[in-house]
């Protein structure tokens, strides 16, 4: 028999409208430009580059091949656990093609990833799969993650450093949120966009003074 085409997508998520994508890219790039000139950042530059005294151009450091989106469910064409069940949910079918406004409340930068934290509304949480925050989380981080509210992992990957996969952004965000909860925040710097804090090992968190909203469409994505 002929091989059947995969019926399930690579993933589902909210995709930023084209003009919104440009606006968010500009705003977040401005933040990167400022970040790599800060003394506080320069003090920890060795976490981003092995070469001593070397400067890092963060705009070049992070690359992003996919359209900007906030993943709800990674299906891996049906190979991921719960993919089929998710695709068959009535809420998922009804939401497909519908507009939704996302609210970005913070930005994160680590040696691996650059991302935007998304604060999901109650309605948006209906599309967040149960237990999804924990998928692929290291055992040592699990207790911390389990104490965070559902949807804490929601984010938009803005870029990854060479050789790093996008899935890392959510894991980096969770690590930061757990460290914050444990009260492990270090240096704080006031910036125009908000309060920047350092969380060891090259992890930076910018709590935005004002949330950045973005219009999106919920849909599936396959390559």
Active site residues: 69, 155
Q: How far apart are CA 216 and CA 68, in angstroms?
A: 10
Instruction: Note whether 169 binds ligand 2AM by CB under 6 A.
Output: yes
Residue 72 in contact with ligand 2AM, rule: CB under 6 A: no
- 93 class by beta-carbon count within 10 Å (0-12 exposed, 13-18 middle, 19+ buried): exposed
Where are the extended beta strands (E) located within the chain?
Answer: 11-16, 69-74, 99-109, 113-119, 155-160, 188-190, 194-198, 204-221
136 binds ligand 2AM, rule: CB under 6 A: yes
Q: Is 216 in the site for ligand 2AM (CB under 6 A)?
A: no
**Is 86 a binder of ligand 2AM (CB under 6 A)?**
no
Between 64 and 126, CB nearer to ligand 2AM: 64
Q: Which of 110, 124, 152, 157 binds ligand 2AM (CB under 6 A)?
A: 157
How is 126-165 classified by DSSP, letter by letter?
A: TTSPTTGGGTT--TTTHHHHHTSPTTTT-EEEEEE-TT--
Q: Is 159 in the site for ligand 2AM (CB under 6 A)?
A: no
Phi, psi angle pair for 131, to nearest 5°: 80, 0
Residues in contact with ligand 2AM, counted by CB under 6 A, come to a total of 11
Residue whose CB is less far from ligand 2AM, 40 or 167:
167
Q: Which is nearer to ligand 2AM, 44 or 173 (CB)?
A: 173
- Applying CB under 6 A, the residues found at the interface with ligand 2AM are 10-11, 66, 71, 74, 136, 157, 166-167, 169-170
């Amino acid at each position: 028999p002929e091989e059947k085409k995969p019926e399930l997508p690579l993933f589902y998520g909210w995709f930023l409208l084209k003009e919104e994508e440009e606006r968010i890219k500009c705003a977040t790039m401005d933040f990167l430009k400022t970040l790599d000139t800060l003394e506080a950042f320069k003090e920890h530059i060795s976490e981003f580059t092995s070469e001593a005294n070397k400067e890092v151009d963060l705009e070049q450091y992070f690359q992003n091949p996919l359209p900007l989106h906030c993943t709800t469910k990674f299906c891996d064409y049906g190979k991921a656990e719960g993919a089929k069940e998710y695709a068959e949910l009535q809420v998922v079918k009804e939401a497909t093609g519908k507009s939704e406004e996302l609210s970005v409340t913070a930005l994160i930068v680590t040696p691996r990833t650059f991302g935007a934290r998304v604060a999901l509304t109650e309605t948006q949480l209906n599309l967040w799969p149960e237990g999804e925050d924990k998928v692929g989380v290291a055992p040592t981080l699990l207790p911390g993650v389990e104490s965070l509210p559902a949807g804490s992992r929601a984010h938009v990957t803005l870029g990854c450093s060479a050789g790093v996969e996008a899935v890392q952004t959510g894991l980096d965000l969770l690590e930061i949120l757990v460290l914050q909860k444990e009260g492990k925040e270090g240096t704080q710097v006031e910036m125009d966009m908000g309060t920047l804090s350092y969380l060891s090992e090259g992890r930076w968190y910018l709590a935005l003074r004002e949330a950045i909203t973005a219009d999106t469409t919920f849909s599936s994505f396959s390559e």
